[in-house]
Amino acid sequence: MEFTPDELGRRERKRKQMLEHLANTAANLFESLSYESVTMERIAEEADVAKRTLYNHFPTKEAVLAYWIDAELKRDLASLQGSIAKCKTFQSRLAYVLRASAEWCEKHPEHLMAYLRHRLLSVGAPSPPGMRSDSSDIAVAWQHLIAVGQQTGELSKAFPAEQLATWFHHLYLGALLRWLNVPGLSLENEFRSITTLFIEGASAKR
């Protein structure tokens, strides 16, 4: 069976609407109850859909959570663009994004651990059509910020922006995991530390 472009467009809009409905319903349950206590059956019941419909869109609860967090991240990054553009240096632009990230993470530590676990386990695995891969909008943001930093001469062009962004993203994830696992740490301080390491390197100053 073949579909016209208009029919395909309508089907895609309906699919996205359902994804958002399911993810937002799950997010409300995660916030009002707890992530661990919410089941896929409860999400389907609250969303007023058949369990089969939910599983057709999301294979696991972790996938629902990841979709919601990625959507939140995309909206937040879009809303920050005007303020980021006013920052004069690479380091100040990076610090602005990291501060916003820290604020969100500090409000959702339970969600964050489950999200990171899901993302790490999904590295290299194929994604269903329309779903996210193991990349993320914030990794794309690092690449953009680094590319601009290279253009202004603040960062070396010895490595491609994409490669540097991957390395920085690993530092970012490491900081998050360390913060989640070591009581009493300040996430903003952890982010400042990885920024210094990334910009200045780990060699001793002479």
Q: Which domains does the chain have, with CATH numbers?
A: 1-58 (1.10.10.60), 62-200 (1.10.357.10)
Alpha-carbon separation of residue 168 from 56, 89, 114, 146, 193 (angstroms): 35, 17, 21, 10, 12
pLDDT of 157 > 70? The answer is: yes
Least reliable range by pLDDT among 13-27, 33-47, 69-83, 143-157: 69-83
26 class by beta-carbon count within 10 Å (0-12 exposed, 13-18 middle, 19+ buried): buried
* Phi, psi angles (nearest 5°) of residue 38: -85, 130
What percentage of the chain reaches a pLDDT higher than 90?
63
Residues 6+ apart with CB under 8 A from 43: 22, 25, 26, 29, 54, 61, 64
201: left (phi over 0), alpha (psi -120 to 50) or beta: left
* CA max distance for the chain: 70
DSSP 8-class letter at 204: P
Is the CB of residue 173 less than 8 Å from the CB of residue 138? no
Q: So what's the pLDDT on residue 132?
A: 47
Q: Is the pLDDT of residue 29 over 70?
A: yes
Nearest to 160 by CA among 171, 172, 149, 175: 149
* Amino acid code (one letter) for 181: N
* DSSP type of residue 33: S
Q: Which residue has the higher pLDDT, 204 or 157?
A: 157
Tokens of 28: 């409300």
- 51: Cβ contacts below 8 Å, ≥ 6 apart: 40, 41, 44
Judged against a pLDDT cut of 80, whether residue 135 lies above it is answered with no
User: Among 48-57, 108-117, 150-159, where is mean pLDDT lowest?
Assistant: 108-117
pLDDT at residue number 28: 95
Q: What is the pLDDT of residue 134?
A: 41
Task: Give 78-127 pLDDT, tens digit per residue.
Answer: 899 999 999 999 999 999 999 999 999 998 888 888 888 887 777 655 55
* More confident: 10 or 41: 41
Region 2-11: mean pLDDT is 66
Q: Is 185 helix (H, G, I), strand (E, B) or coil?
A: coil
Mean per-residue pLDDT over the chain, rounded:
87
